Structures are given as C-alpha cells and as structure tokens.
Amino acid sequence: MDDAKPSRAKRARTPGTVRIVGAGPGDPELITVKALLRIQKADVILYDRLIDDRLLANAKKDALLVYCGKSPGAHAMPQQRIHRLLAMYAGRGKDVVRLKGGDPFIFGRGGEEALAMAERGIPYEIVPGITSALGSAAASDIPLTHRGASASVAFVTGSRCADPSSGIRWDLLAHGADTLVVYMGISHLDTIRGELLSHGKAEDTPAAIVEQGTTDEQRTFVGTLATIGDIALEMAVRNPALIVIGESVRVRARLSELSRRSGAGLGKDALESMNSYAII
C-alpha cells in the first residue's frame, strides 16, 4: 500500500511554539540574551505598547509584527483576541514571540497567556525579564532592600486599588512589608496614600515616583507619603510610572551626596563609552 495517502494524524501540521518574553523595563540594553535570541528567530512577534523600537529592529526582515498594546483606558486589542492570535499563528507552525514590557509574570498577564496556550495544547516557553520595579529603582539609586532599612518588599497593582473587591489588603501592606512598590498607581495615588495613612503608615514615610524608568525620559521625584501627591500634580507625572514607599528611599539622597563629594558616580562620558559597546 505504498500509494496510500498519509493518515490525518500524519498530515496534521506540527504546532509552533509561543514564547512569552519579558523585554525588561524600557532601556533596550536591559534585554536578556535569551530574550534577544527569541526575538531574532521569531516568525511572528506580538508586542506591547512600551516596547522600544530598537528591540523590534532585531527581528527577521520577514517577521510579522503585530501591535497589541494597552494603555490606561485604551486597549488596542482585547486579551482574548491576543490569545486567539497566539494560538492561530502557532497552529500554522510559526515560532511566535509575545513580547511584553518588564517581566511577563509580574502584572504582565503572562500567566493568563500561558494557561490559554496550555489549554489548547500549544507548546509555550516563558522567558523572564527584568521587571519594572527592579529596573526603575536601580536606575534611580533606590535599593528595594537595604540593611537596617528594608528586609522585605511587596509589589502591588494600583490599577484596581479603588475597587473594594480587588482584594488588596492595605491594612496588612501598611505594616507587613518594609518597601512597597506600586505599579500602575499614579491615577489612584490619592487613594493609595489615603489607605496607607488610614491604616497607620506614618506621614513622613519616604516616597518616590519614577516616571519612564530606565529610559532617556526618566524622571524621579522624592518626597514623603504626605507630600508625594502634591509633587505628582505639580510635576504633571504621567504613566508609565512606579511609586516606591519605604525607608530605603532615603538611600538615594545619601548616594547622591557621596557621589557629588567623591565623583564616584558614572559621569556622562563614562556612560556614553559603555553604551558604545551595546549588543543592540
């Protein structure tokens, strides 16, 4: 029966792989080697709003680039449609990259996308990235842990903090972690401050806002829990921005003072020299 047609099972296309990739916090040089390799080999890339164009320039010339970014109150593509597209392209045997800012498993819906692929029997891979909290804090000279000041950190989403059903326990967060990092919280800053203060967090607790962290447009503002709201209004802070609350914020001022005295910080010329060796 050499002329027999192959069975349906043999004719079925082998599915491609969906790679859920963290692109880091903004600076394209903070991409991991593994993430960069996945971008370079992808047939299809579904990318988010805050992905730097210099990363996309590493894609193959014939790669299909699909924008599916989300901004506050304006989603280019519903999450369920993203799931369907990932599954569709992988079902055609394509190597698919879902490129997300920061780390896909830290407020990035990477878990939802992995579950959606697993439910459909599609192979997937998770490639972690530097999450915004780590990158933005480091770029602002704010250690999230610091001996004698912070032995614990909590990452909190601020986008749903005004919703009573969100499950955010501000009563516990006010005293349960030394440093709080609030993602997507600028539009709810007054609510966040009010919750923490009403549950006993001191008004003079240091607080910082990092806007556009790790990028050329980064701005960092430091105050206290009592003053940071007014600072945000005065400086017209906009998303993307992170809020850091805790005693370790004080280290930034100390580092700045010591760097001015000793010249220990990297100057512009040194930074430009280092950047000239970028792999991107």
Tens of pLDDT, residue by residue over 130-149, are 999 999 999 999 999 999 99
Q: Do both 155 and 92 map to the same domain?
A: no
70 noted as active-site residue: yes
Q: Do both 212 and 169 map to the same domain?
A: yes
d(CA 14, CA 17): 10
Q: Do both 145 and 219 map to the same domain?
A: yes
- Considering the domain boundaries, does residue 269 fall inside one? no
Catalytic residue among 94, 100, 184, 201: 184
What's the token pair of residue 169? 């326990």
pLDDT at res. 13:
73
Identify the CA nearest to 154 among candidates 162, 163, 145, 146. 145
Catalytic residue among 43, 48, 95, 103: 48
- Residue 279's pLDDT band (boundaries 50, 70, 90)? very low
pLDDT at res. 128:
98
Our CA dihedral for 261, 250, 107, 21, rounded to 10 degrees, sits at 20
| pLDDT above 50 (res 116) | yes
- Considering the domain boundaries, does residue 146 fall inside one? yes
State how many domains the chain has.
2
- Considering the domain boundaries, does residue 274 fall inside one? no
Q: Do both 61 and 156 map to the same domain?
A: no
The range of the structural domain enclosing residue 123 comes to: 15-130
- Considering the domain boundaries, does residue 268 fall inside one? no
Task: Quote the pTM value.
Answer: 0.87
**What's at 131, amino acid-wise?**
T
Q: Do both 108 and 159 map to the same domain?
A: no
| pLDDT above 90 (res 214) | yes
- Packing angle between helix 110-119 and helix 79-91, nearest 10 degrees? 50
- Look at the alpha carbons of 257, 261, 262, 268 in this order and tell me if their dihedral is positive or negative: positive
Which CATH number characterizes residue 209's domain? Answer: 3.30.950.10
Catalytic residue among 34, 70, 77, 141: 70
| pLDDT above 60 (res 239) | yes
186-196: average pLDDT: 95
95 noted as active-site residue: no
pLDDT at res. 206:
98
- Considering the domain boundaries, does residue 211 fall inside one? yes
